[in-house]
Amino acid sequence: MGRGWGFLFGLLGAVWLLSSGHGEEQPPETAAQRCFCQVNLKRPCPFWNDISQCGRRDCAVKPCQSDEVPDGIKSASYKYSEEANNLIEECEQAERLGAVDESLSEETQKAVLQWTKHDDSSDNFCEADDIQSPEAEYVDLLLNPERYTGYKGPDAWKIWNVIYEENCF
């Protein structure tokens, strides 16, 4: 299943690369300038059965070696300093946030209720278990640029159809 996921992962990475101006051919010199993402490439596709075959041999996503990923990214607490983590806890313990207008119009309340019903009706609506999976690997998006993969046929059509036809927002 790695190649089917690789296609989707590559597509999402390409959007990021193109929108951020990081689509250069040569990767940056330091690991700090790269974009690492953790994903389980071996996980089966949750949307449909897929043969996971590409038209080209070179289109597979190449995961990083363990020593290529900075320790700070591998750590669960790399994002925030100790002081910032304490502020988050204090904020969560506060009874009410200041200067936040929590009122919703009746129309917005109905829309939120509909979204909640939709979300609750789907098992695993937003599944982010790749990060916790023992098979998850780090991928450097700059070393796996978007390109024509040769991934075509009915399985590719399903993916493009979802991208263009489904309401993803």
Can you give the pTM of this predicted structure?
0.45
Backbone angles phi, psi at 38, to 5 degrees: -105, 130
Give the whole-angstrom CA distance, residue 109 versus residue 31.
45
H/E run at residue 36: strand 36-39
Per-residue pLDDT at 56: 65
Task: Identify the residue with better confidence: 126 or 61.
Answer: 61
User: With DSSP H G I counted as helix, E B as strand and the rest as coil, what are the percentages for the chain, rounded to 5?
Assistant: 45, 5, 55
43-102 residue pLDDT tens: 777 667 776 666 666 667 788 888 888 777 776 655 566 666 666 666 666 666 565 666
Mean pLDDT of 15-29: 52
CB 162 within 8 A of CB 50: no
Q: Does residue 26 have a pLDDT over 60?
A: no
Per-residue pLDDT at 87: 64
Per-residue pLDDT at 163: 76
Number of structural domains (the chain) is 1
Q: Does residue 135 have a pLDDT over 60?
A: yes
Q: Does residue 110 have a pLDDT over 70?
A: yes
Band of the pLDDT at 120, cuts 50, 70, 90?
A: confident
Give the whole-angstrom CA distance, residue 18 versus residue 107.
37
Band of the pLDDT at 23, cuts 50, 70, 90?
A: very low
CB 27 within 8 A of CB 34: yes
Residue numbers of the domain that contains 161: 2-165
Band of the pLDDT at 33, cuts 50, 70, 90?
A: low
Per-residue pLDDT at 35: 79
